[in-house]
Amino acid sequence: VLANTNHANPTKTVSASNFLRGFTWENTADYDDENTEKWTPQGITTSADALDVGLYESKKVILIDWYNSGDTGLGVRLSFIDRTASGAASYRNALLVEPYTDSSGNANFKAVNVHGGGIAWYGHLLYVVDTNNGIRVFDLDHIYQVTAGEGIGRQSATDYQAYSYAYAVPQTFFYQAATLSSPMRWSFIALDRTTTPDSIVVGEYAADDTVPASRLVRFSIDYTTRELTATSNVATATWAYEVDILRMQGAVSINGTFYISRSNGASTNGDLITWVPGNTVTIHSGALYIGCEDLSYNRDANELWTLSEHPGKRFFYAVKADAY
């Protein structure tokens, strides 16, 4: 996929505190991801999550997922962004799909109709949160190249399509959320390479006080399998905290400090909140651009990556992590 990028990511200076670098999306007469209302970007992860060396097959890579905001059942797509060249980036979009056996006994696949509020890349696996159900896991070592066409899944024995995308990324397994008296809202996710063992942090979005207080939860992850640490196929959280912060869009933990993005509507900059458990939060008001979303940390480059979701104000960028 990265060898066949077909859209440009122009560089962009973004109004965010301690800004390091940023990009926007292709905006041409033929293809306009910067302004489309059909798709909305949500989650971000980088090759620094995938591998500790920070590169994936010698490339600096960013992955961003988009949910189909046009309510037409197109599911979730994934942007593969190559930013290896200094000051330049390019990308290609692919479709996330769920394989299944159809009523005729044929191998088939369908779109994944979830919000996809956050993603985390670890080794060959991509973790995607499913708001009401848990975490879906996709295998980046097994990406399907499909035929051109507007259909989805099997059209014939030799024709599989993915809503006009050239590549489909298959789901390989699923972590089903346990039944709780106050069900978890799986809103965002991030990898933490500063713990031993590595871990993921999952959190909840809460728009207002009418829903249960928002929580952050941590799971250990096994670097040998790239899967969550589990006993009898059950992954159990190692830590959980009711933080009760409204409008959290992303959270990443770095050496015990949590960095939390909070959105403030479609016309006001978002906040970056830092917090060490046991202490009060510090709110860096307006530190992130309008419509801030998921977060990802690149330790070697001291980069805290995020993105903005609104049409016409749609960027992805890094700020200096140790400035907070």
Mean pLDDT of the chain: 96
pLDDT band at 297 (very low <50, low <70, confident <90, very high): very high
pLDDT digits (tens, 9 = 90+) for 213-262: 999 999 999 999 999 999 999 999 999 999 999 999 999 999 999 999 99
pLDDT digits (tens, 9 = 90+) for 107-147: 999 999 999 999 999 999 999 999 999 999 999 999 999 99
Q: Which residues contact 232 (CB under 8 A, 6 or more apart)?
A: none
pLDDT band at 209 (very low <50, low <70, confident <90, very high): confident
Token pair, residue 93, equals 């979009």
The average pLDDT across 202-218 equals 92
Write out the chain in H/E/C secondary structure: CHHHCCEECCECCCCCCCEEEEECCCECCCCECCCCCCEEEEEEEEHHHHCCCCCECCECEEEEEEEECCCCCCCEEEEEEECCCCCCCEEEEEEEEEEEECCCCCEEEEECCCCCCCEEEECCEEEEEECCCEEEEEECCCCEECCCCCCEEEEECCEEEECCCCEEEEEEEEEECCCCCCCCCCCEEEEECCCCCCEEEEECCCCCCCCCCCEEEEEEEECCCCEECEECCEECCCEEEECCCCCEEEEEEECCEEEEEECCCCCCCEEEEEECCCCCCEEEEEEECCCEEEEEEECCCCEEEEEECCCCCCCEEEEEHHHC
pLDDT digits (tens, 9 = 90+) for 11-50: 999 999 999 999 999 999 999 999 999 999 999 999 999 9
Token pair, residue 202, equals 């999952």
Q: What pLDDT does 74 receive?
A: 96
pLDDT digits (tens, 9 = 90+) for 58-95: 999 999 999 999 778 999 999 999 999 988 999 999 99
212 has pLDDT over 90: no
